[in-house]
Amino acid sequence: MSDDYIIRLATVADAPIIVHHRRAMFTDMGLADSKDLDAMEVTFAPYVMQALGNGSYRGWLAETDGGRVVAGGGLIVHEWPARPGHPSDPRRAYILNVYTEPDHRKQGLARRIVTTIIAWCRAERFWAVSLHASAYGRPLYESLGFEQTNEMRLKL
């Protein structure tokens, strides 16, 4: 892992790079065509700008010593009903948009970003943090202690 990168919090000014990372992530996974990705950007760009501003989305970015953002990851913090074992915590933390530019992969950047997000969640006293893993990302998340859950989905 190179020490030539810094991990920093994203600001509203970073919204375009976060949009780029989200698009690139779905492109690399082969989950959408350009028309669907264009439509996603139309909705996601204003969402992430607003959410960065109000704190419901937090982003962490890996930047080279030259100032180029080459990786990132985000966290959505939203209200969630209380549940047994955690009756006084009406929040949920959800990691998303973990992405590294191809020419900076295998440098441990995704691991550094995700561990930074986990540390933030611990400091904020969340009881858990969730995510959906691609096949490529699953080994990283499992090595950090993430486990499968029983979540199911019905596409409407």
List, for residues 97-126, the tens digit of each pLDDT value.
Answer: 999 999 999 999 999 999 999 999 999 989
CB 128 within 8 A of CB 118: no
CB 15 within 8 A of CB 49: yes
CB 24 within 8 A of CB 2: no
Asked if residue 120 belongs to a domain, the reply is yes
Asked if residue 76 belongs to a domain, the reply is yes
Asked if residue 72 belongs to a domain, the reply is yes
Strands (E), the chain: 5-9, 57-64, 69-79, 91-100
Residue 90 confidence class, pLDDT cut points 50, 70, 90: confident
The boundaries of the domain holding residue 130 are 5-143
Q: What angle do CA 112, 26, 127 make, to 5 degrees?
A: 45
Q: What is the dihedral of CA 55, 127, 61, 57, to 10 degrees?
A: -20
CATH code for position 138: 3.40.630.30
Asked if residue 30 belongs to a domain, the reply is yes
What residues contact 28, with CB distance under 8 A and at least 6 apart?
A: 99, 136
State how many domains the chain has: 1
List, for residues 49-81, the tens digit of each pLDDT value.
Answer: 999 999 999 999 999 999 999 999 999 998 888
